[in-house]
Amino acid sequence: MRRFRGWVIVAVFVAAGGAACGGESATPGDVPVQITDSAGVRIVMYEGVPATVAPFRLAADPRYRHGGGPRDYIFQFANAGRLFPDGTAVVADEDGEVVVLSADGTTYEVLATRGEGPGEVTFPYTVLVLGQDSVLVPDSRQSRLTLFVGGAVASMVSLPRAAHFGVAGIGSSGELLLWNRFPSRLWIDIEEEWLAGHMTLFDTETGALDTVASYDHVPRQRSGQERPIILPSGEVTVAAGRFVQTRTDRPEITWRLPDGTVEQIVRWRPGPNLLTEELLEHGEAYNRMLGKMMYGMSEARLEEVIQADMARYRAMIGQPVPLFGTPFADADGNVWLPSYRPAYPEEGSPYTVFSPDGEWLGQVEAPPRFRILDVTEGLVLGVHRDEMDVQNVVVYEVVEGVGRG
């Protein structure tokens, strides 16, 4: 398997086995790093933000582009996708179907159509590849999981009906790892500063839920106070079978075993991240796109809503905003932190990448208007949005070397 960690040109850390309770230190580039062991938890502390460019990059030209050809599938909003080991891709339209693209992107097959029957979906928010011919599709509106093997339905399992549960990934022993996709209850006037979310194991055979850990999910709101239009959030993903937890206003990543045990924490010391006019450059276009998709209102009313929202955004210029967007993990267990964007937030270039043992691999640039969905076996699957907001699914190769190709 092609692994990014093998491409690191300069060793950033001392060997993991040499990190004793007293701590070890190293200097990756221009920033010292301290590695300690505290009660069995590996703690990696960067005294700043390493000015490091990752030793791998996206190739200059894509391997293929699908969506603009006369016989291509027309994507409405491709919100999730994964690569199979052979380069075949499975992509879910947020409010539509699940399709499989051939390894060269020339053909496609519809794996799941829209509907409520067996093998149909209504809101597939993620997809999980379990092998070359196996894919698991969670559907939030139907509260169920569908396993497809060889293009056919192999099994279906009901998820807990509570709408806030979502599938984060698969644990190291095959467990299904859940988190709170949405708040579990109202967060207004709660005693705590943050409403807690929960990391949970789900037994697909018995339906049993086992909550193993909690995390800060949604910041408290006070009655009578206008809620800021930009807020931090708590996020959970799964990397190499482990929970990975973040809070977007904290320079910190926490790795947990499936039983909830904290295994590793990485921290760094960034400078302030303040909202600028440049970050709002595409805000109106983004809000207009969302409004047309989600709100049934007249053009005039929609424009009023957009301008009111933009006024709230501009009122925050110069104020702190999240340090990064929603993290995701690649097939090798590396954690990718997108740069924060209030408009088209998933298009978070440059991405900061951490290895499974907390090594700061550096930043990776992506093309403009490109949203990464998955990174597997030296390939990057993503969505490119053109000037008319038309979406194409695009696959790039990952190559050695720094900077954009």
d(CA 127, CA 145): 10
**197 and 177 part of one domain:** yes
- Could you tell me the pLDDT band of residue 7, with boundaries at 50, 70 and 90? very low
- Host H or E run for residue 290: helix 283-294
Mean pLDDT, rounded, for 169-190: 89
Residue 78 lies in a domain: yes
pLDDT in tens, 182-221: 887 888 888 999 999 999 999 888 888 999 999 999 999 9
What value does the mean pLDDT take over residues 20-30? Answer: 56
> Does residue 161 sit in the same domain as residue 309?
no
- Minimum mean pLDDT among 8-12, 101-105, 158-162: which range? 8-12
Q: Exposure string (b/e) for 368-405, b if CB count within 10 Å is 16 or more?
A: ebbbbbbbbbbbbbbbbbeeeeebbbbbbbbeeeeeee
Question: Which range marks the domain in which residue 307 is found?
Answer: 274-319
Domain identity same for 54 and 173: yes
Q: Are residues 163 and 284 in the same domain?
A: no
* pLDDT score recorded for residue 14: 31
pLDDT at 25: 56
Indicate whether 332 and 246 sit together in one domain.
Answer: yes
Residue 405 lies in a domain: no
In the DSSP assignment, the letter for residue 287 is H
3-state per-residue secondary structure call for 9-46: CCCCCCCHHHCCCCCEEECCCCCCEEEEEECCEEEEEE
Instruction: Give a yes or no: residue 165 inside a domain.
Output: yes
When divided into structural domains, the chain yields a total of 2
d(CA 251, CA 323): 7
pLDDT of residue 6: 32
164 plus 290 within the same structural domain: no
How confident is the model at residue 182, as a pLDDT? Answer: 81
The last residue of a domain, from among 303, 319, 335? 319
Q: Among 128, 100, 99, 97, which residue's Cα sits nearest to residue 115?
A: 97
Q: Does any domain span residue 60?
A: yes
Q: Are strands 41-46 and 262-267 parallel, antiparallel or unpaired?
A: parallel
pLDDT > 90 in the chain, percent:
68
Residue 190, in any domain of the structure: yes
Question: In terms of domains, do 113 and 46 share one?
Answer: yes
Same domain? For 380 and 235 the reply is yes
Average pLDDT over residues 86-94: 93
In this structure, is residue 22 part of a structural domain?
Answer: yes
Report which residue type is found at 113: T
Q: Please report the pLDDT score of residue 10 as a whole number.
A: 29
| pLDDT > 70? residue 21 | no
Q: Are residues 151 and 297 in the same domain?
A: no
User: Is 332 within a domain?
Assistant: yes
pLDDT band at 80 (very low <50, low <70, confident <90, very high): very high
Last residue of a domain, one of 285, 319, 353: 319
Q: For residue 301, what pLDDT is reported?
A: 92
Q: How far apart are CA 283 and CA 289, in angstroms?
A: 10
- CATH number of 354's domain: 2.120.10.30
Domain match, 246 and 269 both: yes
Let me know whether 117 and 253 are in one domain.
Answer: yes
Q: Which of 254, 289, 319 is the last residue of a domain?
A: 319
Any domain includes 139 = yes
Check whether residue 211 and residue 291 sit in a common domain: no
Q: Look up tokens 């928010």; give the residue.
A: 125
